[in-house]
Amino acid sequence: MDNNGTIENEELRGFLKDLLELVKKDYDAQDLIDFEETILQGVGYDKDGKISRKELTMILLALAKMPTEDEQ
């Protein structure tokens, strides 16, 4: 992270990869791409290539409600 107050493309991919490892035992590159696209569309992404603190908060709140593989 470069401490600019937003998450940009590579930072987002790293974050999502770590997150997928926590909630899903097996995932592949396509899962990561799909997850990234869903996140960007779901938060009202403003198309600047960055996720703001407010957008990240919305993402984390939504993910907190998602069941893990073990809970399904």
So where are the chain's domains? 26-62
**Residue-level pLDDT at 71:** 61
Q: Per residue in 7-63, pLDDT tens?
A: 877 888 888 888 888 877 688 889 888 888 877 776 655 566 678 878 878 777 877
Who wins on pLDDT, 35 or 1?
35
pLDDT of residue 47: 64
Question: Hunting for tokens 């940009």 — which residue is that?
Answer: 8
**pTM for the whole thing?**
0.57
pLDDT at residue 72, as a whole number? 55
Buried b (16+ CB within 10 A) or exposed e, 36-60: beebbeebeeeeeebbeeebbebbe
Q: What are the phi and psi torsion angles at 17 (to 5°)?
A: -60, -45
CA distance 30 to 10: 16
The DSSP letter of residue 44 is T
- Position 21 scores a pLDDT of 83
